A = this chain, B = another copy of it.
Amino acid sequence: MDDITTNKDFSKILNSLCSPNSYKKVMHRSNHNVPMPSTKIMGQIVEMMRAIIFPGYFGYSHLNLHNMKYYLGTVLDKIYHQLALQIKRGFCFSCNHNKTVCTDCTNRAINLTDSFFKQIPQIRHLLSTDVEAAYLGDPAARNPGETIFSYPSIYTLLNYRVAHELFKLEIPLIPRIITEMAHSKTGVDIHPGAQIDEYFFMDHCTGIVIGETCIIGKNVRIYQGVTLGAKSFPLDENGNPIKGIIRHPQVEDEVIIYSGATILGRVTIGKNSVIGGNVWLTRDVAPGSRIMQEKPRKMNFENGAGI
């Protein structure tokens, strides 16, 4: 390809892309030149969190009881500085879009990082219950450590539980980036606003969706392709969706939801219920219920070659 010279329409194309009409809706211009949060750094922060929460499984491979304190201290300190910087960037991005004045983003970021840090031991506690749930919930799991090291459920829940604490502190953008990272890797889309209690397990994971205002109790187990979504959402007078309305299911303790089930709207799935696969559900279910799809028909297909 040695003989490529520049495209002859190059200037015209470039001018078009640099005209305000073209860029105005798709260009980011901050108030004061703070760049966007770095997804690369965010990824490193989350991996450092994984090394903190599950020492010896992730991070330093020579971890032992003697060096644990030094290592965790160092990693925590790095998370602290890097997370505070990213949170600040998230604020500036948000201020910019909301056309509000962006004052004191740095201090707010530091204070919220302080608040988040207090939750780290509790995040580990919750994840330790999730590990137990994964081990008990999957006959193929040989030991709890295997679920920590290689199960997408635990991977996703670490991201979610970190993101949820940041979300509760009303930190913009950052929580979403964190859950979206897990979404990309495991196919599970948990909104950071969802509330999920202890001992939660998702088997196989791909395609699970858990919406912003979901509430999920203790000891719940769900399978791949389950949607806990919104049935509809009202628009305001300008045709924009009204933000922040409670619109997703509440799932009580001890519920199992099988693969592909879709549960929409603020309905309650009562304690101890079992929801069968591929079910479409938009109403409350009493505690202890068993819900499943109609039987499929046996039939002749129309085409010989396929379905």
Contacts and interface: CB of A to CB of B under 8 A. Distances in A.
A246 to B, nearest CB: 11
Interface size class of A (residues with CB under 8 A): 35 or more
Most buried by B among A145, A206, A240, A245: A206
A137 B269 CA distance: 26
25 contacts: A1-B110, A7-B114, A9-B114, A26-B148, A27-B68, A29-B65, A33-B62, A35-B61, A36-B57, A70-B77, A142-B173, A150-B173, A152-B180, A187-B206, A187-B207, A207-B207, A207-B224, A227-B259, A231-B303, A258-B262, A259-B262, A276-B301, A277-B280, A280-B292, A282-B307
B296 A297 contact: no
A230 interface: yes
A240 B137 CA distance: 8
Interface in A51-110: 52-57, 60-74, 76-78, 80-81, 84-85, 88, 93-94, 96-98, 106, 109-110
A77 B62 contact: yes
A300 B292 CA distance: 9
Given A32-B2, A77-B70, A142-B172, A120 B55 contact: no
A80 B6 contact: yes
Contacts of A245: 139
A218 to B, nearest CB: 15
Given A5-B66, A229-B223, A296-B276, A137 B26 contact: no
Given A62-B81, A69-B73, A94 B142 contact: yes
Contacts of A258: 262, 264, 307
B1 A106 contact: yes
B209 A124 contact: no
A168 interface: no
A29 B137 CA distance: 24
Given A36-B57, A146-B176, A274-B306, 9 more contacts: A1-B110, A10-B76, A23-B68, A33-B64, A136-B241, A140-B193, A189-B204, A227-B260, A232-B307
